[in-house]
Amino acid sequence: MKKQLFYASLFFTLLNSCVSPLPISRLSSEEPQGKWVAGRKYVTQTQGDYSMTLSFYKSDGDLLLFDALFENLDGSEVEFSPMQARIIALNSEKSVISTLYPLDPESKLLEFDKSESRERARLANQSISNAVATTSDLVATVIEESDPNISRQQADANYNQREWDRQNRLADMDRQEAYLESIKNTRLYWEEAPIRRTTVGSNEYIEGRMFFERTEEASFYTIIFDIPNVGKFEFNYKHELITPY
């Protein structure tokens, strides 16, 4: 009876520990002007010979993704960095809840480089370990084949166990290689997709994606770009939190 109660309690706990889907954020620009392209509103602001365009893309987990474009029509160079931006979360009365900076692409790339270096070392060590184990297995097989004190049945059983262990080691190697490949692919995305620190020359522009952490309780967001020697660009959004059900 106690065992039945234990399993019933365990089942109830597992049933109630299911992961719930994260809510989805929908941001609507409060700017009256803007250009619609493929269902998305692009808002452009200007400061003299400089312009900043921003469009909300989507929420991804606890991140808000935006596409940004900075254009320099001045005669001098401008150093642009995504870290010149900040997102201000506001409640329904438009009081500040939080002020956050975007994820830094350069810091993310460094994280991936560290992870890749660690995984390459693990993979190399595992490869050496596998080579040693394979040699040991071969020696053990030869010895057992010629040992009169070990029956054929026992020798076959030992061989099958070693083969099973070898297959598991190879499977572990495959998983490690797949994980390393996923790190490299994700790093490539962070190398190419985000807008990154760049010196923007005269009549040049830079574009890319920006990533901000989400504040679920926010009713409004204000994104401010404060670029030295250029000026300030401010974009305002209304935030709607949508549950998947």
| pLDDT tens-digit series, residues 147-204 | 888 888 888 888 888 889 889 999 999 999 999 999 999 999 999 999 999 999 999 9
| pLDDT tens-digit series, residues 101-125 | 999 999 999 999 999 999 999 999 9
User: CATH code for 20-104+194-242?
Assistant: 2.60.40.10
10 Å CB burial of residue 201 (0-12, 13-18, 19+) is middle
Q: What is the distance between the alpha carbons of residues 48 and 73, in angstroms, rounded to a whole number?
A: 9
Q: What is the pLDDT of residue 6?
A: 52
Q: What is the pLDDT of residue 24?
A: 94
For the chain, how are helix, strand and coil distributed in percent, rounded to 5? 40, 35, 25
Q: What is the pLDDT of residue 43?
A: 97
Q: 40 — phi, psi (to 5°)? A: -120, 140
Q: Which range has the worst mean pLDDT, 60-64, 84-88, 154-158, 171-175?
A: 154-158
The model's pTM is 0.81
140 is written with which tokens?
């053990």
Residue-averaged pLDDT of the chain: 91
- The residue with tokens 């495959």 is 174
Q: Which range has the worst mean pLDDT, 3-7, 32-36, 52-56?
A: 3-7
Asked if 237 and 220 count as a contact pair (C-beta separation under 8 A), the reply is yes
> What band does 226 get if pLDDT is binned at 50, 70 and 90?
very high
